[in-house]
Structures are given as C-alpha cells and as structure tokens.
C-alpha cells in the first residue's frame, strides 16, 4: 500500500521548514518528514550561532584558504580539522573545492550570495512583523573584532569591495569598539560594525516557522526516515540524460510506509547526497562539523553578536545565555565531540571576554553544516528527475538563507518567476555522475 502525496519535503531543518512555509503560503499542502523532529538536535540548525548575516558575502571557497587550512591542521586547538577518509565522494568534493578557490570564482559568487541573503533577511523582517509565533528576531547588527592589524586592514579592504554590493560597514577604532562592548580588552586593534545583520534563537525561530506553516496547512511527520527514492522506468543515469533528464521520482520509501509524491523537495542538509547517489547523481555536499557552547549570560553583556575574526568564533546573546560557536571539522558523519575543539572555542572567547566565557555550560552541541564546494547553495530541479527539487548545501549561512531558499523552492515548484536569479545555484553546476554507491 502506498500513499499519494502532492508535495513531500524531506528534512525539518530551517531549509525544509522554510520550503514548507512558502509552499503552504501558496495554498499547497506539503508534508514534511524528518527522521527525528523539526529542528532536530542532530541536524545543523538546532544550536547554531543564530546569525542572519546579509553582510557575509564571502563564499567559503576563497583564494588562500587551502594553505591556511594546512597550517591550521598542525595546531590541535585551531578552528579547522580535516580527517582524510577512503571515500571517493570526499576526494571528489575536495578537488571541486580546490578548483573553486580562485579569485574569479570567489568574486563571481559574492553577488548571488548577497542577493539571496538580502532577500532572506527581508523575509525574516516580514515574518517577524506578521501575526504568529515569535520569530525571536533581534536586528541589532553584529560587530567583527580584530586583534591583528594586518587582518584588520585586509578585512577593511574586503568590506570596501563588499560596499559596492550594498553591504553597510562601519569601521571602528579600538575605543569605539570598547564603547560598544566594554568587556573587550585593550589589545583589540579595530572592528567592523554591520548594522543590517540580525540574530535569532535558531531552534525557537525554526519551530515558530513550522507552527506558522502548520497553521497554513502543512503537515509534519516526525520519526519518519526516508530510506530511498525510487526513479521511474525512464529515470536514472543512462536513460534520463543530462539536465531536465525526463526521469521522475515515483516512490519514496520511508520507515513509515511508501509515498507516491507528485513533487519531492530534498532538504536533508548534509545527508542529502545519501538519497541522490543511488539515483546516479552525486550532489557534492560534505558534512562540516561545527560546535557551540552555551553559557549563562553575564550581567551587562550587550544584545550585540560578536565575531572574533582571527579566532573564527561567533558569540551571540540569546535571551539569558550567550552562545559561542565555531570550528570546521571535515571528518565525515562522525559525531564525536572533541574536547580539544570545545576548549579551543572557550579559550578563544576567554582571551577577549575573560571569565564571561568560562562559566559552566548549559548546552554543548555539534552539528554538520552541509558544505558545497564553492560556498553557494544548491537550489533547483534535479538534473535527472524533474519532480525532484533540491535545497541544500548552505554551508555556514543556511539559517540566514533559509526563508529565501524556501520561497525560491515554492516559486520553482509552482513555476512562478523567481525573485532571485537561480542559475548560480543550479544543482547541476558540477556535473552529476555518481556510481550509485555511498
């Protein structure tokens, strides 16, 4: 027995929930399945840094990042770690990442990221201003703090470039920095204030959006894992051919029965490739583990998120707590929490904020960011199955990009004119071959 479903969304993180919301807003009735629950503890959304950052227009793949990564690997407390594995997908991803780390590709990625991010930020405002559960949005900007003159000068030069894309940046002297955050020590050399940025409580915000989607007619099915997607007779690698493909997803086998969907939206974060590879399509997404540590918020800590630039640590005030987040571990789907990485974050934050950062944690967490090789998400129809829409690969800024991604997906599904040019986000931009195993 199988059940017919018009719109099946796989994944209940910020991306899947946003897709469900914008589908339901159009009067459609999406069904969202998650193997755990909305905003699962094991996903990437649950306890992330909560930042909505339209100012962050730097694609992850930037020139020089590889040599920096190699240097960091020699330092156990550094914000980056890579564990080589005997996995052909990891090596294909690395090779694509290396090719994307050029000046030309980096600069070309900035504009589409900015457009998507600004659109998303505007949607957060719209949602926060409308009736419904609290989206927890605080639009107070964020403050980038520099401890090193050379990095500060480089960042200022980059922000001047970004200003051409409309990014608002205010350059601050050390005294001006300390006037905003009195806890900062004397050795800081300068900072950048981006007033258009915002922050939310990621779990509460995602659940609030899910509740709004439910009110509009979306259905959420927790504890329902998708085991595999079955293509139709004409689908698959040999028969379907390149983009457009002609294939269709006919059946979706889940732990709670078989679904026959008209349209499938794949928003399973870092796990998305597990469902596309058996269809002969290697979506190049790798999990990149990050950590967060949440501690009680000390009196006087401002309602202003900080980014400690040289240490790659975000510090976000969240109600009566502050959350420190950072680290990028390319170690596959391994969920081990490495004490060294956690200590690295606390020490880094303590070097600037002293004992504030060293209180007993109320939450320790790690989550797998879905990393694309060029830092741009994958949003669009699958190259092989025309009723499969892909929405993943949002790297470090999936919370920021969630609502705009959801709206784009809804526009793609309903064949409306999209608000944002979707071509840079094509799921097919790296080619699609996979040998069908993972």
SS3 (DSSP) at 342: helix
Among 353, 376, 388, 397, binds ligand FAD (CB under 6 A): 397
Compute the least distance from the CB of residue 82 to ligand FAD, in Å. 16
The interface region with ligand FAD, picked from 48-56, 80-88, 148-156, 229-237 by CB under 6 A, is 48-56
What gap in Å lies between CA 268 and CA 346, rounded to an integer? 30
Among 396, 408, 409, 420, binds ligand FAD (CB under 6 A): 396
Which alpha helices (DSSP H) does 262-397 contain, by range? 272-276, 339-353
Which residue bears the tokens 């991306």? 15
Binding residues among 177-196 for ligand FAD as defined by CB under 6 A = none
3-state helix, strand, coil in the chain (%, to 5): 35, 25, 40
Closer by beta carbon to ligand FAD, 267 or else 342: 267
The interface region with ligand FAD, picked from 106-114, 122-130, 160-168, 266-274 by CB under 6 A, is 266-274
The interface region with ligand FAD, picked from 71-79, 131-139, 391-399, 421-429 by CB under 6 A, is 391-399
Among 13, 141, 284, 348, binds ligand FAD (CB under 6 A): 13
Closer by beta carbon to ligand FAD, 366 or else 429: 366
What gap in Å lies between CA 213 and CA 29, rounded to an integer? 9
**If you write DSSP's letter for every residue of 234-294 in order, what string do you get?**
T-SHHHH-STT-SB-EEEEEETTEEEEEEEEEE--GGGHHHHHGGGTB----EEEEEEEEE
Binding residues among 127-156 for ligand FAD as defined by CB under 6 A = none
Among 97, 142, 193, 271, binds ligand FAD (CB under 6 A): 271
What gap in Å lies between CA 230 and CA 252, rounded to an integer? 6
267, 271, 276, 282 alpha-carbon torsion, rounded to 10°: 120
| CB atoms inside a 10 Å sphere around CB 17 | 32
What gap in Å lies between CA 398 and CA 138, rounded to an integer? 18
Q: Is 90 in the site for ligand FAD (CB under 6 A)?
A: no
Q: Is 118 in the site for ligand FAD (CB under 6 A)?
A: no
Written as six digits, the tokens of 286 are 């790798």
Among 369, 381, 384, 385, binds ligand FAD (CB under 6 A): 369
Compute the least distance from the CB of residue 173 to ligand FAD, in Å. 26
Contact footprint for ligand FAD (CB under 6 A): 10-16, 33-36, 40, 42-45, 48-51, 225-226, 267-269, 271, 290-292, 314, 325, 367, 369-370, 392, 394, 396-400
């Amino acid at each position: 027995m199988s059940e017919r479903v018009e719109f099946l969304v796989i994944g209940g993180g910020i991306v899947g929930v946003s897709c469900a919301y914008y589908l339901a807003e159009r009067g459609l009735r999406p069904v969202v399945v998650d193997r755990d629950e909305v905003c699962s503890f094991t996903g990437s959304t649950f306890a992330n840094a909560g930042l909505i950052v339209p100012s962050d227009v730097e694609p992850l793949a930037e020139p020089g990042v590889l040599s920096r990564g190699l240097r960091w690997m020699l330092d156990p407390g550094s914000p980056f770690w890579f564990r080589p594995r005997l996995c052909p997908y990891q090596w294909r991803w690395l090779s694509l990442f290396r090719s994307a780390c050029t000046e030309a590709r980096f600069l070309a990625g900035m504009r589409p990221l900015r457009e998507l991010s600004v659109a998303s930020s505007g949607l957060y405002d719209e949602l926060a201003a409308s009736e419904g559960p609290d989206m927890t949005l605080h639009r107070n900007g964020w403050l980038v703090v520099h401890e090193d003159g050379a990095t500060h000068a480089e960042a200022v030069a980059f922000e001047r470039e970004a200003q051409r894309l409309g990014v608002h940046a205010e350059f601050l002297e050390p005294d001006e920095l300390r006037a905003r955050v009195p806890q900062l020590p004397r050795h800081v050399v300068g900072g950048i204030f981006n007033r258009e940025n915002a922050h939310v409580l990621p779990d509460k915000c995602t659940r609030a959006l899910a509740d709004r989607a439910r009110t509009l007619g979306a259905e959420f099915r927790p504890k329902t894992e998708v085991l595999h997607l079955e293509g139709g007779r004409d689908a698959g690698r040999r028969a379907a051919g390149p983009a457009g493909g002609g294939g269709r997803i006919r059946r979706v086998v889940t732990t709670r029965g078989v679904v026959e969907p008209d349209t499938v939206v794949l928003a399973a974060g870092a796990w998305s490739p597990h469902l596309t590879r058996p269809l002969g399509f290697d979506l190049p997404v790798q999990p990149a583990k990050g950590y967060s540590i949440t501690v009680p918020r000390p009196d006087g800590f401002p309602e202003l998120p900080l980014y400690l630039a040289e240490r790659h640590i975000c510090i976000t005030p969240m109600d009566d707590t502050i959350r420190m987040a950072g680290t990028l571990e390319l170690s596959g789907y391994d969920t081990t929490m490495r004490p060294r990485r956690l200590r690295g974050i606390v020490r880094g934050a303590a070097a600037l904020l002293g004992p504030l950062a060293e209180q007993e944690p109320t939450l320790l967490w790690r989550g797998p960011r879905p990393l694309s090789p060029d830092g741009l998400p994958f949003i669009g129809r699958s190259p092989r199955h025309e009723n499969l829409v892909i929405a993943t690969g949002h790297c470090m800024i999936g919370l920021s990009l969630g609502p705009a991604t959801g709206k784009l997906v809804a526009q793609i599904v309903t064949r409306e004119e999209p608000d944002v040019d979707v071509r840079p986000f094509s799921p097919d931009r790296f080619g699609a071959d996979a040998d069908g195993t993972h």
